[in-house]
Amino acid sequence: MKKLNQLRKLFLTGAVAALLPIMAFSQSSPATGTATQALEKKVRHELVMLPYFTIFDNLAYRVDGDTVTLLGKVTRPSLKQDAERVVKNVEGVQRVDNQIEVLPLSDFDNQIRWRAARAIYGYPMLNRYGMGTQPSIHIIVENGHVTLEGVVNNQSDKSVAGIRANQVPGVFSVTNDLRVGG
């Protein structure tokens, strides 16, 4: 029981430390920070629920008061429009600045996307990241250049994912922007 209480304290301390940069960034009162966190949670939920959001797309956002800035790169123009539409309907959002970039249509890039997905998710050490409705490694391909986005459990998995992507035929470069941790 004592160890469980120690773990809870450690977890809560880590959670508070993780939230400090968000509060400092928004430069708001604690009540407003809570409202911002609630808004961020609603926006994230709406974005991950989009039906055509795949491992080949990367959506990000920034909340500043009642304004949400959408960022990232997607393979379909309709996904850019859908992301803006669903975020505009989130309670508390007054304005949406849609800066999502639509990747160029390219059979060459599509082939790289699928090869990279097989190379990463087909590798035994990394296949757990492909489980679930929203896999945690996203593979963004633009004109033969690959960017890996998302979250992995450790530095070793991040490195292996980058190596696997770099071995895909036709890839010009790999930028490994995977984050370690939750």
pTM: 0.78
Task: Extract the tokens encoding 25.
Answer: 């960034």
Instruction: For residue 153, give the DSSP letter.
Output: S
**Residue, of 30 and 167, whose pLDDT is higher:** 167
- In this prediction, residue 47 carries a pLDDT of 94
Q: What is the rounded average pLDDT for all residues in the chain?
A: 84
Question: What would the pLDDT profile of 141-169 be if each residue is shown by its tens digit?
Answer: 999 999 999 999 999 999 999 999 999 99
Instruction: For residue 176, give the DSSP letter.
Output: E
Query: What residues does 101 pair with on adjacent strands?
Result: 73
- Which phi and psi angles does 39 have, rounded to 5°? -65, -45
Question: What would the pLDDT profile of 106-151 be if each residue is shown by its tens digit?
Answer: 999 999 999 999 999 999 999 999 988 889 999 999 999 999 999 9
- CA-based radius of gyration for the chain: 18
Give how far Cα 37 sits from Cα of 15, 26, 49, Å.
Answer: 13, 10, 18
Q: Identify the structural domains of the chain with CATH numbers, from first to last.
A: 30-102 (3.30.1340.30), 107-180 (3.30.1340.30)
Task: Extract the tokens encoding 79.
Answer: 């996904």
